[in-house]
Amino acid sequence: MNSIHKRRYHVTVIVIVITIAVVGTWWKLVEFGSATRGEALAEALQAVIEKKDTDESLVASAILTNYQEIRSNAARWSGVYWGSTFIAAALSALAGLILKLESILRNEAIKKDVAAAFALAAAILITISTSGDFQRKWQSNRTAAAELERLGYDFLEKSGENPRTYFSSVGNILKTRHLSILGTINQAQTSSEISDQKQ
């Protein structure tokens, strides 16, 4: 293996290690964060769910199932969004670093090619993250999870009084979440306000 190939190998190894470290660290933080949220609500609602074949257990199950699903979605979209952002930032920094370092790559052509490849990869990641609206999807799920959590505690506070009325609130939260993910929440609110004014 000649010196040029050795240098390329070292650069590749460094990039792979940094990428794995950034993604792995972030993913573990996301998993830890999602695992530690909502446990108190889950335990409280579980006691109601165990009262089989009642309206209260049906509503508690609907709230908890939707809450857990949405929390998981929020954690996934958060991981994708922040993972893309951090990796893009690391690649951008590496692109600049490679151009300045003299000891790793001495061949100017290879140095420029590697730096350009890193900069291109960073730009593609940012473009995908932005055009895919990962941040909006993450935030929409986080907001919906918070609203379901509040609804769950409201349900528990009122001891499941008139339980079936909570289905409407769950449905509204899920609808708002979907509209927010699609980016049409403001249009839907405007249409609703217009129809209210006509009435």
Mean pLDDT by runs of 10 across the 199 residues of the chain is 62 66 62 62 86 88 93 87 84 82 72 84 86 87 93 89 90 92 64 41
In the numeric block, the tokens 């932005």 are attached to 130
pLDDT on residue 193: 43
* Helices within 36-163 (DSSP H only): 39-49, 55-100, 108-131, 134-157
Distance from CA of residue 73 to its chain's centroid? Answer: 7
Count, residues in the chain: 199
Q: Say how far apart CA 160 and CA 91 lie, in whole Å.
A: 52
Q: Say how far apart CA 84 and CA 135 lie, in whole Å.
A: 11
Take residue 33 and report the two structure tokens written for it.
Answer: 């964060």
pLDDT on residue 192: 46
pLDDT on residue 197: 41
Distance from CA of residue 152 to its chain's centroid? Answer: 22
Q: Say how far apart CA 74 and CA 139 lie, in whole Å.
A: 7
First to last CA, the chain: 80
Q: Answer positive or negative: Cα dihedral of 18, 20, 23, 29.
A: negative
pLDDT on residue 144: 94
For the CA atoms of 131, 133, 135, 137, the dihedral, rounded to the nearest 10 degrees, stands at -160
pLDDT on residue 142: 92
Alpha-carbon separation of residue 136 from 79, 133, 179, 184 (angstroms):
13, 5, 11, 12
Q: Say how far apart CA 156 and CA 76 lie, in whole Å.
A: 28
Asked whether 22 and 87 are in contact (CB, 8 A), the reply is: yes
